[in-house]
Structure 1
């Protein structure tokens, strides 16, 4: 079901869109369970079609499940659309209004530096460090397997991605994988749930009253910003003591831009981008990997296929030591791509037009709130054959179909890393991390969930994350 003009031929207005039944004054506010927001919106989409609207205290929010329209909106950023405007002031309050949320002229120089730092040549040069960090994760999991420990994968994988992002972008490896307590990841974990809560709150109460949740976030932010300012100070010292013709990482590049005459970049902008990259690098990749284990644990034949491919590519190495060989680990990336189709970390994308527009036969004024749901198009049989089935092979070149199968595969319906000028700059790093971690894991271990799979729930915490992913690791018999 898609939007269309009314029988009279005039454009539909927001008020013409179907809306779930609500209450006077507050509208649907009482139905928007924040930890399950994506599920609530998906259920309404199943009942009402696309687009529909819901109301928050008189403010309408339109909700769309059309992949093509989503692609169009993302391609027309930043000149016609922007991110949900409520996001920017909330991020600014916590010192995180970096390249992810910046708009207009402030975005372009930040974007250029981040894209350069996360470019393929830079990641290729970084591969030995990436290999070393992945080897530390291997050693951590070996110890857990030997002791018979249950490993909470969401925690371990976030430690890993924090170490990788810090080493690549800031020239410092915090080595959180070798510590048990007092690591920056514990403080970062406080931030996303608070962001989700504040962005969707009908009233900014925290600017007047600090609840216990807000005080915990304040303490976490103080520790995170202390760490970030320390990294900035140490990087400045290295630049002074060991000058380099070309910046060695993103933080040095930003500090150099900060010191350029006439630059609009400030220390606060640099700190905001450091925090942005820490959060983005930690959350998306780590949770995508964690969700992949949910499916792998239930599929021993697939685990064996992956182990065979890992042995063939890695040889005697514990971790893929050659960047050129990463490209041969296609099945591992296919597992992650298929995982994100069924368990999209970016389940909701929020935008608004900066001018009056017509979208799918609906007239939207500037500032109209638009939520795009990413999962419904990926579970649509018009886009993918047997869409409810976990099938990584659908993403591999040359995937054979049975004679009776009418294969449908529309990759444009998969938009986890966005599209257009503001496509995720870290998508290549994420792909390399996923291939390295899963190939190391499958070569050396068999994976079993340590709980009933039905107890693993989806939680909206800005991203869509598992509430837990406890597994047991068993050392795999050598080939």
Structure 2
């Protein structure tokens, strides 16, 4: 996908129409942030993003579980707005993360010990299977938030047929099949293709496993005394509103919050390992907020790590999780003199804009300093960039609802790793696979040396 959109821009310019793909609506690619801003500013309170139609079809057919509810990933219009309104305050408010800081810190602490036991005793490199360990960390972190409960992803010698590993495997398969069904030419809208049948089997597995965990969480919650609402976890807040909404929202979180978070954290570790000056600055910050290697991450720590936050922003600029943001036009819109009719897909290709020298000088360099307040006025300051060039979490009403939790998980893990290890990478340039989302393809055999 990344290579394709880059070729489209080089061959045809900043606005490209692509049509004639069987089973796909006409699509317009936008490569100029001014055009993207116009789309976002005029999309109204109910932005449409008609994607993941296969998931919508699945949930319609599994009415016994979903009861006609498509959730956030595939609903549109008033249905989407109604669902988002129910869950927004329980996931987007800053205070929502407070009850989860301690549990997320515990997961990261266990993962540090997992790293020490997992790496090669001589080379201190991680094994080729470390990508899967990053997935386990991301899943365990998400489950602590979604279920208020550990599910055992970081247990030693976890069986290949265990439910946590099956959950990870099925999430991978889900994204792979979504790319084949939703992006590549496919005839699934005309008949029940083999890939669609495989996809439904994968979703059945995910529904069964997550449904089991949701039921267990509800039972634990029923036996727990009610606390002040200000101290309630996300799960407690959601269930107080609507149990069915809670179930659908948690299924959305588990399917969307594992590969995305693990690959983003992996990309950040790679950039830290390959930029020694960045790593040293980051370690100074880590030692300042975590006096000891075992010091816990607290709210105060999270509020005092500006350089780490800048590192994550810069890593997402260079290694975004997706090609860009999708919108489906609700009305006719005119861009650069072209009338784009209602019902066309627009793809805002922020992955290319964020690496354009017009907006980010020396775009291939990893410079977290771009994002610091004291960089204002300097050549590389991100403040000089167009605000709609870099958009890792989306914009407007459909901005990523799990952003705060993803940042909590990644910031906690990264600051603890830097406080405990010196990172080295000796395996050449990290390779990515660009599909429905961008994933790390190289075996992540990073070297972690105790300090």
Q: Same fold (TM over 0.5)?
A: yes
Q: Does 1:351 align with 2:331?
A: no
Among residues 73, 90, 107, which one is paired with 1:117 in the alignment?
Answer: 90
Question: 1:177 is matched with which residue?
Answer: 154
Query: Is 1:154 aligned with 2:118?
Result: no
Query: Higher Cα Rg: structure 1 or 2?
Result: 1
Q: How far, CA to CA, are the matches of 1:38 and 1:422 in structure 2?
A: 23
Counterpart among 173, 185, 188 of residue 171 in structure 2 = 188
Deviation track 1:393-446 (CA, whole Å, cap 9, x = no partner) reads: 111110277799999444442111111122112222222222211111112112
Query: Which of 19, 30, 35 is the equivalent residue of 1:69?
Result: 35
Structure 1 partner of 2:431: 457
Match of 1:238 in 2: 220
Aligned match of 1:226 in 190, 195, 208?
208
3-state SS of paired residue (1:428): helix
Matches for 1:266-285 after TM superposition, within 5 Å: 267=244, 270-285=246-261
Structure-2 residue corresponding to 1:399: 375
Q: 1:315–1:116: structure 2 CA closer, same or farther, 3 Å change rule?
A: same
Contact 2:283 2:418 in 1 (8 A): yes
What do residues 200-247 of structure 1 show as CA deviations (whole Å, max 9, x unaligned)? 244433874553x55654443333211222123223433544463777
How far apart, in 1, do the equivalents of 2:118 and 2:189 lie?
41
Other-structure match for 1:38? 2
Q: 1:306 is matched with which residue: 279, 282, 288?
A: 282
Shift of 1:463: 1.3
Residue 204 of structure 1 is matched in structure 2 by: 187
User: Could you say if the C-alpha distance between residues 348 and 205 of structure 1 is closer, same or farther in structure 2, counting changes exceeding 3 Å?
Assistant: same
Q: 1:271 to 1:124 in 2, by over 3 A?
A: closer
Unaligned 5+ runs, structure 1: 1-36, 260-266
Q: 1:459-474, aligned counterparts within 5 Å?
A: 459-474=433-448
Measure how far apart 1:140 and its partner are: 0.8
For 2:350, the equivalent position in structure 1 comes to 374
- 8 Å CA contact 2:48–2:77 kept in 1: the answer is no
CA distance in 2, matches of 1:403, 1:416: 22
Query: Secondary structure in 1 aligned to 2:397?
Result: helix
Q: CA contact under 8 A between 2:47 and 2:397: conserved in structure 1?
A: no
1:246–1:382 distance in 2 versus 1, CA, 3 Å: same
Deviations 1:65-120 (A, max 9, x none): 1223323323444547410x243344441679422332222223432343333232
The residue number in structure 1 matching 2:112 is 138
The answer for the alignment partner of 1:127 in structure 2 is 101
Q: 1:401 and 1:142 mapped to 2: Cα distance?
A: 43
- CA deviation digits over 1:289-325, x for unaligned, max 9? 1112232222223222212221111111435432112
Relative to structure 1, the CA distance from residue 464 to residue 91 in structure 2 (aligned partners, 3 Å threshold; closer, same or farther) is: farther
Q: Secondary structure at the match of 1:56?
A: coil
In the aligned structure 2, how far is the partner of 1:400 from the partner of 1:469? 38
TM-aligned CA deviation for residue 353 of structure 1: 0.9
Deviation at 1:129, TM superposition (A): 0.8
Residues 196, 461 of structure 1: 8 Å contact kept: yes
Shift in Å at residue 392 of structure 1? Answer: 0.8
| Unpaired runs of at least 5, structure 2 | none
Instruction: Provide the rounded CA distance (Å) in 1 between the counterparts of 2:213 and 2:118.
Output: 31
* Pairwise CA RMSD: 3.0
TM-score, normalised to structure 1, is: 0.80
Task: Note if 1:414 corresponds to 2:390.
Answer: yes
Tell me if the contact between 1:239 and 1:252 (Cα under 8 Å) persists in the aligned partners.
yes
Match of 1:425 in 2: 401
1:27 counterpart residue number? none
When the two structures are superposed, what TM-score results if normalisation uses the length of structure 2? Answer: 0.85
Give me the whole-angstrom Cα distance separating, in 2, the residues matched to 1:122 and 1:79: 24
C-alpha distance in structure 1 between counterparts of 2:318 and 2:237, whole Å: 38
Q: Secondary structure at the match of 1:371?
A: strand
Structure 1 pair 421–217 and aligned structure 2 pair: CA distance change class (3 A): closer
Note closer, same or farther for the CA distance 1:319–1:349 as it changes in structure 2 (3 Å cut). farther
Deviation larger for 391-400 or 73-82: 73-82
Distance 1:236 1:320 in 2: 29
The CA deviation at 1:471 is 2.3
Distance verdict in 2 for CA 1:163–1:335, change over 3 Å: same
Paired position in structure 2 for 1:388: 364
Partner SS, residue 398 of structure 1: helix
Which shifted more, 291-300 or 237-246? 237-246
Q: Given the superposition, is the C-alpha separation of residues 403 and 273 from structure 1 closer, same or farther in structure 2, using an over 3 Å criterion?
A: closer
Structure 1 position 99 matched with structure 2 position 72:
yes
Deviation, structure 1 residue 345? 0.9
Q: Residue 205 of structure 1 aligns to a residue in which SS? A: coil
Q: Is the 8 A contact 1:141 1:473 kept in 2?
A: no
